[in-house]
Structure 1
Amino acid sequence: MVFKKASGKRSLAPDHDGHRMDASTVFRLASSSKLITIIAVLQAVDKGLIGLDDDVSPILPTLAKQEVLTGFRWYGKPVTKPREGPITLRHLVTNTAGTGYDFLPIQPLWRWRWWHGQKIGGNQDRGRGWSIDDSLDYPLLHEPGRGWTYGSGASWAGRVLETLSGMSLDDWIREHINAPLGLSTLTFFPQRDPAIAARVAAMNRRDYWTAKVLDCQDEPGVNSFSDGSDDNNVCLGGEGLYSSLEDFLEVLHSLLADDERLLSKALTAEMFSPQAREGGGGLEELRQCLGLPCWISQGILKKGEFNWGIGGVLIDGDGHDYLKRGSLMWSGLYHLLWVSDPLLFLLHGRERVMLTLPAKQWMDREAGVCGIFGAQLVPAADKTVISTIKAFQKEVYRILDLMNDNGEVKDVGKAEQQNAGGPGNGPLAKLARAGKDITVQVGVLEVLLTLPIGSDGVPSSWAAQCDSNAASSSSLVSFLTWVLKLWRRA
């Protein structure tokens, strides 16, 4: 069963041709790029090119020479000390290497840049001769393996792969991820292919004073991670990828189903295993960091009930309203979020349930659900978008609760009532009657991102939210695309 719904336009610019959003629209993934790059790096582990716990210092001399930043003099001079232990590939793919970001205010690397007279956000310097080594040439924030810092580890890991394979990260992804899954849009360089470039969504921003969403495609910094046409062939693995949501979902589904088209079962299991540890192993720093309100996923996590897997935050408790223990998820600056919950997949045997949203990803292996929610909106942690993400996730799990282990509706009457479809005509009743290979609208999922300033969430009913915004269709400023797939027993 496949459900798709798109709302809005690809661009709000006055001179734009007005193409509508659809599931094939291409997004800047920002930090959702990390998952793809890490999968590529783990493929190199599968092929025996490197081990997860191998020291990468001989491969990355620029990173190897970095000292550890310990503080600043009273007048601003940075204080560093030599690094003591090795930097392993595992450190890079779990954010425990100490490699941060110079553009995050919550980290002090911007002060290090400022003292040395360098531009903050060095990865925005995309002139001739630009490289990842130049962009990320700043000290570590802690000893490798002795803390947790969100940052550039995935981009460094991508450089490891490029050095070992002799291929660009873009070429590796095309050959080892796109080809096995039949994908066409996953790339660092959409401008090299006119068919992909024509489908890239423009960027929008919410005005601080009016709460209106405005086109900001040509404003400085919009393409700070990648403009999609870099002549230096630089693949910024942690931030620079583009993809349609359909293609990204196929990657999530492969991991959820554990079909070994991308990774061996052993490495997929490792991705869904806790990597941060108590007692100096990064768990305390992880929870302190993700407890801050600046994260898109912050409102979904329960305090103290998460860890870090390989590629995303890992649900590590049973106190969540719907996400199950072992779910893996992460997000991107422009309001992308993905999740995977794998357990329902196990309970349902060979059945697989997937959903796609445009800007946040999750894989819930216990519930058998994976999805991606996406928007192209700055600044991050927009209250309206986050409320919409949470409401959509709850609706998906509510629908799953109406189904039995065979994927059939347990109580058609209850489903009709909850989905306001009318006697015998609701979407779930149609699903129950029509069988397994149909397209059906599950509930009322037409969502307009136009809630007023100060809104603290969305109404309890998803349909109620949609109805309350129906009159605002002329000011629709972004879009949501959902795909819910159910593969029944062959």
Structure 2
Amino acid sequence: MGKYGVITSFDDDKSSATFAPDSTHITLRMLLSHTSGHEYDWLNILLGKWRASRNEEPWTGPTIEHKSAIPLVFTPGTGFAYGSGHDWAGKLVEKASGLSLDEFMRIRIWKPLGIESDITFWPSTKDNMKGRMADMSRLDQNGNPPAVDASGYDIMFGATDCIGGGGVYCSTKAYYTFLSAVLRRDPKLLTSQSHDELFRPQLNKECEQALNDYIALSPAHTNFLGQRIPASVRKTWSFAGLIAKEGQEGRFERGTAFWAGVANTVWFIDREAGICGTAFCQLLPPLHPPVIALHEEFQRGVFEKAKEARVD
């Protein structure tokens, strides 16, 4: 359950938030499907004001507790908001296994796939990785080139915890190895039943509508979450990520999964077409529309090649 309850309003004159008490137990399923009521504070105006009233910056501090022990934005299980559910889920894995999330994933995922030398939460501590780290670059305040060096940017904002929702560093080859293993339902990763569950839509009608409304809430929400998928294509959520419930001509089939990272890294798994792909860059601002447009063209190119291969 949430530590503070559900934030309902903020009085600017008094610099004070109002909360509704809530005792709903948050489940792992809620955390993994973004229906727990957690939302990243940098996406929510009320949470941003609450942080400021406490002289705190959004999503800062060394631990997940520092970053994400914040008010909920709705009663768990009744809506959708993009937040720290996977970060908390990672902490549960650590609690249940007695291992760090880095070590758990090394044993259960990375080593079986032969990619343990190219993926970790802590590349600066690995002699074979720290010299291969790509520096970040940044476009200007209007998102225009040329890009300039942003190597001082800390994408983890001071984290010393493993951040389950987005803290892994890896090579493109290693990530594609993982992605393709998921596409072909590699038994080294999951049982057949668990592979089915990974892509099964997790949202009921209320939460699915909340997701689609949430994506359309503002240009920022659309840019961060929409993946340039038309608003006319109904979307839902699975443990794997965003799911398009319908296909888009020349780009993907029904049931394709998508997601992305802050530095304009994007991946997709189209199980109907039998293809997957990812393209990495290290560029700010996050999920910049012109860059995401390039990702869309990449997806269309892969889809076309797959179609040609099927014809041949």
Structure 1 length normalisation: TM-score? 0.59
Q: Could you list the runs of 5+ residues in structure 2 that have no partner in the other structure?
A: none
Instruction: Pick one of 256, 264, 267 that aligns with 1:327.
Output: 256
Q: Choose from 368, 377, 400 the match for 2:283.
A: 377
C-alpha distance in 2 between matches for 1:186 and 1:156: 21
Match of 1:461 in 2: none
Work out whether residues 58 and 67 of structure 2, in 8 Å CA contact, stay in contact via their aligned partners in 1: no
| Counterpart for residue 443 of structure 1 | none
Equivalent residue for 1:289, pick from 214, 230, 236: 214
Corresponding letter in the other structure for 2:229: L
Q: Structure 1 residue aligned with 2:307, among 401, 426, 430?
A: 401
Secondary structure of 1:314's partner? strand
Q: Which has the larger radius of gyration?
A: 1
**Contact 2:59–2:68 (Cα < 8 Å) also in 1:** no
Shift of 1:240: 1.5
Which residue number in structure 2 is paired with residue 143 of structure 1? Answer: 75
Q: Which of 214, 238, 242 does residue 148 from structure 2 map onto? A: 214
Q: Which residue of structure 1 aligns with residue 156 of structure 2?
A: 225
- Please give the secondary structure, in 2, of the residue aligned with 1:331: strand
User: 3-state DSSP class of the match of 1:103?
Assistant: helix
User: Match of 1:99?
Assistant: 38
Deviation at residue 117 of structure 1 after TM alignment = 2.3
Query: In the TM superposition, what whole-angstrom CA distance separates every residue of 1:413-449 from its partner, at most 9, and x where no partner exists?
Result: xxxxxxxxxxxxxxxxxxxxxxxxxxxxxxxxxxxxx
Match of 1:159? 91
**Percent identical residues:** 30
Structure 1 residue 299 displacement after superposition = 5.0
Give CA-to-partner distance per residue, 1:315-361, whole Å, 9 cap, x none: 1013444211111110011101xxxxxxxxxxxxxxxxxxxxxxx01
Number of residue pairs the alignment of both structures matches: 305
**What code does the residue aligned with 1:110 have?**
G
Pairing partner for 1:300 from 228, 249, 256: 228
AA at the equivalent of 2:154: N
8 A Cα contact 1:155 1:236, kept in partner? yes
What is the CA distance between 1:67 and its match in structure 2?
1.1
Task: Tell me, in whole angstroms, the C-alpha distance in 1 between the residues paired with 2:18 and 2:41.
Answer: 16
Contact 1:296 1:335 in 2 (8 A): no
Describe how 1:329-408 pairs up with structure 2 within 5 A: 329-336=258-265, 360-404=266-310
Contact 2:275 2:306 in 1 (8 A): no
Whether 2:24 is the aligned partner of 1:85: answer: yes
User: C-alpha distance in 1, partners of 2:256/2:131?
Assistant: 34
Question: Do residues 203 (structure 1) and 136 (structure 2) align?
Answer: yes
8 A Cα contact 1:302 1:320, kept in partner: no
Distance in 1, matches of 2:276 and 2:247, equals 18
1:289 shift after superposition: 2.2
What is the CA distance between 1:226 and its match in structure 2?
A: 5.8
Is the 1:148–1:283 Cα contact (8 Å) retained in structure 2?
yes
Deviation at 1:133, TM superposition (A): 1.5
Q: Deviations over 1:56-94 (max 9, x none)?
A: x6xxxxxx5331112223523111122132100000001
Structure ranking higher in helix proportion: 2
Are positions 1:311 and 2:201 aligned together?
A: no
1:418-433 equivalent positions in 2, closer than 5 A: none
Q: 1:328 to 1:143 in 2, by over 3 A?
A: same
Give TM-score scaled by structure 2 length: 0.91
- Give SS of 2:18's match: strand
- 1:198-250, Cα deviation, whole Å (9 max, x unpaired): 111000011246621111112xxx114167xx7x5x11111211011111112
Letter of the 2:135 counterpart: A
1:95 & 1:142 partners in 2: Cα distance? 11
The one of 89, 112, 122 equivalent to 1:189 is: 122
In structure 2, relative to structure 1, the CA distance for the partners of 1:118 and 1:391 (3 Å cut) is same
Question: Relative CO higher for 1 or 2, CA cutoff 8 Å, sep ≥ 6?
Answer: 1
The CA RMSD measured in Å over matched residues stands at 1.9
Regions of 4+ moved over 4 Å: none
For 2:77 and 2:114, locate their aligned partners in 1 and report how far apart those are by CA, in whole Å: 37
Q: Equivalent residue for 1:10?
A: none
- Amino acid aligned to 2:238: G
SS class of match (2:219)? coil
AA aligned to 2:253 is K
How far the C-alpha of 1:305 sits from its partner, in A, is 1.7
- 5+ residue gaps, structure 1: 1-56, 58-63, 337-359, 411-490
Question: Is residue 108 from structure 1 mapped to residue 46 from structure 2 by the alignment?
Answer: yes
